[in-house]
Amino acid sequence: MLTSSNTTATRAAPSPVDDYARIEEAIAFLRARRGDQPGLQELADHLRLSATHTQRLFSRWAGISPKRFVQYLTVEHAKRRMAETGDLLSLAHDSGLSGPGRLHDLFVNLEAMSPGEYRRAAQDVAVAYGVAPTPFGMALVAYTSRGICHLSFRGVEPDTPLRAQLTASWPAAALSRDDAAAAELLAQVFGQCAPPPGGLSLWVSGTNFQVQVWRALLRVPRGGLLSYRQLAHLVGQPRAARAVGTAMARNPIACLIPCHRVLRESGEFGTYHWGSERKMALCAWEAAARDAAAGTAPSAEEIAAG
């Protein structure tokens, strides 16, 4: 039952994690009812909110209306963005540039080790880590003096502790926990505060092909989408779409190495290590941010109108 306005006024503001849980629930509902195209009131009823509070939820979380959010999740939008991104990257390649203009993107530096170097370095490396809320739920970020080495969410196995994912990758490292420092770092990752002047550094280990795929992903701009085939072309291996998918599955750093921006050729979002709903949420959130940066985001009046 809806509470009175006085009670609502004294209630604490929803946390980012609470908002994301509702967004994920909304995506799951919209996926299940895709053929019906449920309206705002049906979505609000499913979320156990009023239509007004549902509007506020999406506006608070992504700056858009539920209607615009649903548009970002359509196959038609995905196909259009894949075509646009492919053309943009092809133009950058033909011009001899490393990637398209990234004025509104977070600058990321990637340093890679071979598996042999990793085994030697991991013997006595100090890894600090922490868990903190983000716009996409609780996340764990880990870092060394050379850069971020791990970023993960609770995925398809939500009962697996986040630290277990880290220790599987760094079994011999000396781990120390600092949630406050992690919260500050994650705020930089998700644009809630300014990153360092030189951008964020990543420190990863992978085969030459895996690193090649990860570097190619860094060229895909925020709000951009690619198919597996397009990504294979981007790394110079046009027949290696399946191998590209395998390399993406080995990605140790969610979001910053943006494997969520790669979709099926059909425009379907497909699977994601940290959950299909999270992949869709990431893509819609980034599409909204891209449109806001380009000046094409809806006005407050348009959001209120749905």
Active site residue 255: no
Specify whether the backbone of 38 is left (phi greater than 0), alpha (psi in -120 to 50) or beta. beta
> Catalytic: which of 149, 255, 259, 283?
259
Active site residues: 259
